[in-house]
Each structure stands twice: as C-alpha cells, then as structure tokens.
Chain A
Amino acid sequence: MTRARRTRIEVVVEAAFRGEVCALLEAEGASGWTVVRGAQGYGAHGVREEAGLSGVFENVIVLTVVGAERAERILGRLDAALADAHAVVLVSEVEVLRPGKF
C-alpha cells in the first residue's frame, strides 16, 4: 500500500464561475476534479442557498488534488481569475492512496 503527500485545493465559488475554475484546472493539467453542486451557506455575501435557475445565488465546491508544484501554479492563476468572484479557496496538505492518480 503506497501513500504519498499531495496538495488539496478546495474552491467554494458562485456557480457562475464554475466553468472558469474547471477550465483553469484543465489548462494547468490537473488529472481530475470534483464539483459538488448546491452548496449552501452564509458568508460575506449573505445567505447563499436559493437556486432560482439562474444560479446567481448558488455556490458550488470544486475540489482537486495535485502535486505541490502544480498546486502553486493553479493557486497563482486562481487568485487572478477569482478577483471579481465571490469565492473562498482552501489549501491543505493531504495523504493519498494510489498516488499515481494525482
């Protein structure tokens, strides 16, 4: 059983910017990501829960796990891309099983 250290990036972002975040991850060569829709909560922009078909008041969580160097590049680009978006970006060191996947 092989375990290894990787960097986990979690972006809680308004649904409108989901496409942009995923495109950025793809461009930086992330081997995969997971989008969790319908994330509800409260923060600087008030209650975030109503879906209302436009998705303007809805959040999603985009989750990816990558190597440390790639993570730095992704974070640099995310910082610029999300300048105008309502978003929270969490970064953590994690251990993964089957490291070849990341």
Chain B
Amino acid sequence: MDSLFAAALTNLTSPMVLCFGLGVAAGAARSDLEVPEPIARGLSIYLMLAIGLKGGAGLAEAPALAPVIPALGVAVASSLLMPVVAWILLRRVFGVGDPTAAAVAAHYGSVSVVTFAAATGFLGARGVPFEQHLVAMLALMETPAILTGLGLAGAGRPDPARRRELLREILVNGSVVLLLGGMVVGFLSGPKGFADVKPFFVEPFRGALCLFLLDMGLLVARRVRRGVLGPRLVAFGLTMPVLGAAWGLVAARGLGLSVGGGTLLGVLCASASYIAVPAAMRLALPKADPAVYVTLALGVTFPLNVTVGIPLIHAAAAAFLGAP
C-alpha cells in the first residue's frame, strides 16, 4: 500500500503534472498567460505523430502480429459499448436527461490522447514496457463512441450535409489520421528509419508534453470557472473512470497484455474525449449542453486521471496482471 501512495506522490511531482498544475493555478488566478492556439495545435500534432511513429516502429519489431487483431476488436467494441453503460448510469443513477446524457456518454466511450501520452510518459520514466499495438487501440477508440451517442439520443438520420460532416469526423478525424497514419509510416520505415527521426520524436516528447499540459491546465481552469456542474454530474465524472479502468484491466487480462499494456488500456477506458467528440456532438446533438459535456471531460475526468488516476491504475494493473 505504501508503494501505491509513493507512486501516486512521485507522479504528482513529475514535471508534466506540475506543469498542468501551474496552468490550472495561472488560469484560476486569471493570469494573462496563454499558449497561442496554433502552438497548442502544433504541439498536439507533434504528440500524436510521435505516438503513432513510435507505435508503428515498435510493431515492426513485434514477433507476431496475430495478437493485434483481437485487441483492435476489443478497442472498437469498448468504444461502442462503454457509452451505453455511461448512459444508463447518467439517466438512472445521476438523473441526467437526454440529449445531454447521450452526448456525455459518447465522450466517455471515446478517449483522451493527452491522458494516454501522460501515461506513456509515466511508464517510460519507470522503464515499464508496453505492447505497441496499444497505439492502434487508442486510434480506434477515438470515434466509434460518436455513433453510439447518436443512437442513444435517438437522433435518427441527420440531413445529408450534416451526415457527410459527421462521417468525415468519424473516419478521417485529424487525430485518427495522425495516429494510424503515423503507425503506418513507423511500420513501413521500421526501427532503422525510426532511428533517424528519434532525436526529434522521442527525446523532446516529455518536454513537449509539459508545454501541452500547461495549456491544458489553463483551459481546465477557464472551463471550470465558466461551466456549471452540479454535484451529480461531478460524481459521474469521478465514478465513470473507475468503472472504465476496471473494464480496461479485465479486457487487458483477456487479451494477455503486460502490466504496461494493461495500464494503458485501463487509462484509455478511464479517459474521456474533449477534442474530437465535442465537435461531433455539437453538430449531431445540438440540443445537448456543451458546457456540461466539455466541462465534465476536461474539468473533472482529465485532471483526475492525470494526477492520481494513472499511478493508481498502474498499481491495480501490477496487482491484477503482474506475475504471481
């Protein structure tokens, strides 16, 4: 138990989490500090491409690709089904009505790339290896949840123009393209090709993550100040990640993942989207309240995961998946 708290504490004093805290503090104090949007966008492209390339190069070295297929199936199924659990909880336990409940549910079926990046940083700092196809799972969990959200809201078929826009969002969303495309590039160029770009994509990764998390902290502080969430919604935002992480660990055991891989799948299932899904939900379910779904994913679940969630999920993965 001591080591569990020690792990949580070390995570809290990592530069990444402290930068996030700095952003939150600056935002709460209404500092004029801001990370210009093009830089934040550039950083997110860098982070996603780096994750994709590294995953693809790692996959090229993997002894067999057979275990990858069921893992990808689990990723899509989790993204499609987790919103159903979230929706039932929201409506039955937390008393949230549609269409906001359906929109929130979609966010919790999808994932947060930055939380994943923070988790890989956490594992990297501790020298814990993980299966590289987790990156493909990350990419495939991004958008299927949007479909479930639409189904839950009974939205029917949106008009053709909006349908095209949504389909584009689901299939060729920027983050999906970067993650999967990066994996293909990494896979085709192999470990040797990857070595060429390693100084740019690997060494500065955690530093770039610090900058990005600083910006996330600022956004979280501003969002929390402006979004009003009742205690029931906050309780949901704290409960759902626990259920998600538990499901992720069970799935990891079924897939035979390592402790590192299990940690990442737990983190993926515990996280909620705040980039791809909000934009899609705004178009698909315009009557759902964005102040609720963005604030919940960004202001409650994201900080929970980045600060204490990742080390706790890692500790749980070590206990549940580690060698007896």
Which of A's residues lie within 8 Å of B, judged by CB? 14, 16-17, 19-20, 23-24, 38, 46-47, 50-57, 84-85
Contact = CB atoms under 8 A, between A and B. Distances in A.
B219 A56 contact: no
Given A19-B165, A53-B40, 19 more contacts: A20-B161, A20-B165, A23-B161, A24-B161, A38-B37, A46-B291, A50-B222, A51-B40, A52-B274, A53-B37, A53-B44, A54-B275, A54-B278, A54-B279, A55-B279, A56-B279, A56-B290, A56-B294, A57-B290
A73 B179 CA distance: 42
B41 interface: yes
A16 B279 contact: yes
B294 A57 contact: yes
Interface of B: 37, 40-41, 44, 161-162, 165, 219, 222-223, 226, 274-276, 278-279, 282-283, 286-287, 290-291, 294, 298
Contacts, number: 50
Given A20-B162, A23-B161, A53 B226 contact: no
B290 A84 contact: no
Nearest to B280: A16
B279 A52 contact: no
B215 to A, nearest CB: 9
Nearest to A14: B282
Contacts of A14: 282
A8 B274 CA distance: 35
Contacts of B37: 38, 51, 53
B23 to A, nearest CB: 12
B274 A85 contact: no
B219 A50 contact: yes
A17 B283 contact: yes
